[in-house]
Chain A
Amino acid sequence: MKNLKDKILEKIKHGDAKQTPKWQFQLREFLIWFGVGILTAVAALVFAAIIFNLQSADWALRPRLGLTRSRFLFIHLPYFWIIASIGLVVLAYYAFRHTKKGYRYALPVIILMLTVLIISFGWASHRSFMAGRFMEQGAMQGVPYYNMMIRPRQALWLNPGKGFLAGEIISPYSDDEFSLSDIDKNIWRVRCRECFVHPLVEMEKNEKIRIIGEKLEDLKFEALEISPFFGPPDFSRPEIRRIMR
């Protein structure tokens, strides 16, 4: 043990032990905090998607479809977003624990802090710019198998006999009519003479919509209300209430 100091000094002088520059420690700390920030922000957007999905659930349809509350909830829970938010919280927790002082906080404290932040920012982003809607649209277009995951929910709108139809507009709207491909790829001729078109619906080709109305005959449908594919339909109008009864 006598020569320990000399051995260490020798190694230092021979360049076998170089000091890591301060900026590298600072950069590491910055990157970890950046990671915490990004993960929390994305988790907030995911939470906005959960709010959006739950708000978009067609609760008024439930009695007409003859579904129990639990069955309806089971179909409508946004599992993809719930799992994604849990995963992001776990990653954010892990990143936070790796900050300089992160280890001092117990798991429940960190999770609580993250949850409060995610709910606050998620709710704010949902209220201010409908972040959840964009997330949902993005997932439908970009996440493999996402459409398959939400199919049970969409399938509720494949009930023309009960007055519900949803799908994608495949021909331009003209002479009060247009063609629609439903989620099973059946082509419907939809008539919309005096129907109410939601202001957010532009009636353009490739636009996804939901329709409340009446089935006339095979693959022909009379629309009473056309609403965006995302967001709750407006059930307040008298003719819609008549159908919902």
Chain B
Amino acid sequence: MPRNTDFGNKTDSDLVQLALKKPDNFNYIVGRYEKKIARYIKRIAGLDNEDTEDLLQDIFIKVYQNLNGFDPSLKFSSWIYRIAHNEIISDWRRRKAKPQFVRGDEIDGFLNSISSEFDIQRDLENKDFRGDIKKILAEIDLKYREVLILKFLEEKSYEEISDILKKPIGTIATLINRAKKQFKKEATKLSINFL
């Protein structure tokens, strides 16, 4: 089997073509996206490592099965995130449990990303404050939580989020605005101040 580095400089589309020709090459796609998608699953569904790996496996199998349906006019990363999003939602429905948000080790990243956006007077060292933020994020509707994660943690553009969630860009902008409002509303309830 060739080493990963042999394909390190190939584009995603090249890797798709290679995987279509020879299934072994699909490993390079897995290698490139495994960590990113695992992180996304944890951020959005808050699963433990074991469940994350199971879901990750399902996602990559789905990607492999649908490889012929990949539209090269779309960014491959958007396409794979879209499949991940759908699988996470399906998994959530199967479990019939509300996804738990952001795990402790993800909070800092989230806070760093949103603090300037939300003008929060922050005290990252304060445990109560961190707990409050976790509480807020747990309360926010899934659709809002998801756009916040994609925008502020995954750092996706509006166009990419539109392709991932299959919604018009205008709708994404509206969702992000509403998500911010809901976040602020919940934060105000917990006496978190905005600058």
Tell me whether A22 is interfacial, beta carbon within 8 Å.
yes
Tell me whether A199 is interfacial, beta carbon within 8 Å.
no
Interface size class of B (residues with CB under 8 A): 20 to 34
Chain A 145-164 interface mask (CB, 8 Å, partner B; 1/0): 00000000000000000000
Which of B31-67 touch A at CB < 8 Å? 31, 34, 38, 49, 53, 56-57, 60-61, 64-67
Tell me whether B93 is interfacial, beta carbon within 8 Å.
no
How many A-B pairs have beta carbons closer than 8 Å: the answer is 67
Residue of A nearest to B24 (CB): A9
**Which residues in B have their C-beta under 8 angstroms from that of A12?**
23, 26, 64
- The answer to whether A5 touches B27, judged by C-beta atoms less than 8 angstroms apart, is yes
Tell me whether A103 is interfacial, beta carbon within 8 Å.
yes
Tell me whether A17 is interfacial, beta carbon within 8 Å.
yes
Question: Nearest Cβ distance between residue A8 and chain B, in whole angstroms?
Answer: 5
- The answer to whether A105 touches B168, judged by C-beta atoms less than 8 angstroms apart, is yes
Chain B 20-31 interface mask (CB, 8 Å, partner A; 1/0): 100110110011
Count residues of chain A with CB under 8 A from any CB of chain B: 23
Tell me whether B114 is interfacial, beta carbon within 8 Å.
no
Question: Nearest Cβ distance between residue A29 and chain B, in whole angstroms?
Answer: 9
Question: How far apart sit A106 and B162, CA to CA, in the bound complex (Å)?
Answer: 11
Q: A25-B69, A106-B171 are in contact. Are A5 and B31 (CB under 8 A)?
A: yes
- The answer to whether B68 touches A21, judged by C-beta atoms less than 8 angstroms apart, is yes
Tell me whether A104 is interfacial, beta carbon within 8 Å.
yes
**Which residues in A have their C-beta under 8 angstroms from that of B57?**
4, 7-8, 11
Question: Nearest Cβ distance between residue A53 and chain B, in whole angstroms?
Answer: 35
Contacts A4-B56, A8-B30, A12-B23 aside, 15 further interface pairs with beta carbons under 8 A come to A4-B30, A4-B34, A4-B60, A5-B27, A9-B26, A9-B27, A11-B57, A17-B64, A19-B68, A22-B68, A22-B69, A24-B68, A25-B68, A106-B168, A106-B170
In the A-B complex, the 7 residue pairs with the smallest Cβ-Cβ separation, listed nearest first, are A103-B166, A25-B69, A22-B68, A106-B168, A17-B61, A5-B27, A12-B23
Query: Which residues of A are at the interface with B, using a C-beta cutoff of 8 A?
Result: 1, 4-5, 7-9, 11-13, 16-22, 24-25, 100, 103-106
